[in-house]
Amino acid sequence: MFSQNTIIFCTMETTDFAKYLSTFLTKYLAGERNCSQNTILAYKDTFVQFITFMKEQKNTEVQKLTLECITREIVINFLDWIQENRHCSNATRNYRLAALHSFFSFLQYENPERMYEWQKILTIKVKKHEKKSINYLTTDGIKLLLEQPDLSTRGGYRNLTMLALMYDSGARVQEIIDLTPSSVRLDNPSIIKLFGKGRKARIVPLQQEQTVFLKEYMQKNHLLETQANQYPLFSNSRKEKLTRAGVTYILKTYADLARKINPAIIPEKISCHSLRHSKAMHLLQAGVNLVYIRDLLGHVSVQTTDVYARADSKQKREAFEKAYVDINPAGTKTKSWEKNNNLLDWLKSLEKQS
């Protein structure tokens, strides 16, 4: 016999919200949009928070949450709630909004009956937020960082190879984690194949010095053998892929050691992305065209890469100095304010003339 709870469960109907959300997360994002697993997980987290908000703030259990419950006002209330109750920044709010916008754009085609409501939600604007300055290391900082791993240990040798490759290739942390021996070509010209956002592949050339070091690492760990082709290039003691948290911990450990030696060249806050930023800045400072840097980093548009040019004040100053043309006529080299002993007096004289 079935219990009363079992009967309720069997007769419970799936809501239209649950149906469309499941399709959105499991089929649309992965299949049609080719989104990465990390993006899908981030979007999933947004809807977990939204469901929590509907339950706690609107007294709507997930079993009763339908598309009809969702309006532009409800979405704005949710965004305000995550900022006020969860203390999310404007940037995080915008990211949650992007996930919601993607879902309601999807619903325009899947549930056109309420298209007017979906389009009203799509008019919700992002909030302006202060963009953080790019956190990168100087070349001396990179050298000091890479001097810290203990090469007499297996882990130290792996860590140095990984961090050096991450910097040399400008790879994202997930791209490094996903590397396999089959992604590496050590013959001249040496390259690695990285899979970035949306599983878009790009080919990145390797420096000869990096290739020698990488080849030695792979030989020591039997990663050049045919059967190891699909093994993780960098693995833990259980031969499993490293995690993002694991790589971050490795970097932080060596950054802390390097900072004790020379705190001036190792930032207090450092992340795996700092190595990527560092590579881009060093290439820019060496005169490499932004288009090539864009291709190395896997950016869709050079406008994304342009952030490095805006951040490099030293290069901007030098560029202005090189481009400077003296347009002053002969005999007018002395500025008018220099004839006056007191700049304030000169400014006052202008007021009298006006």
Catalytic center residues? 172, 197, 273, 276, 299, 308
Q: Measured between alpha carbons, how far is 218 from 221 in angstroms, rounded to an integer?
A: 5
Neighbours of 166 (CB within 10 A): 24
For strand 184-185 and strand 191-195, is the pairing parallel, antiparallel, or unpaired?
A: antiparallel
CB contact at 8 A, 165 and 194: no
* Helix ranges, the chain (H): 4-11, 16-23, 37-58, 72-84, 90-110, 115-122, 139-146, 154-169, 173-177, 208-220, 244-261, 272-285, 290-297, 302-311, 313-323, 343-353
Residues β-bridged to residue 203: 193
| AA identity, residue 230 | Q
| AA identity, residue 253 | T
DSSP string, 292-348: HHHHHHT-SSHHHHHHHHHH-HHHHHHHHHHH----PPTT--S-GGGGSS-HHHHHH
Neighbours of 164 (CB within 10 A): 21
121, HSE (Cβ side, Cα atoms, 13 Å)? 28
* 79 phi-psi bin (left φ>0, alpha ψ -120 to 50, beta other): alpha
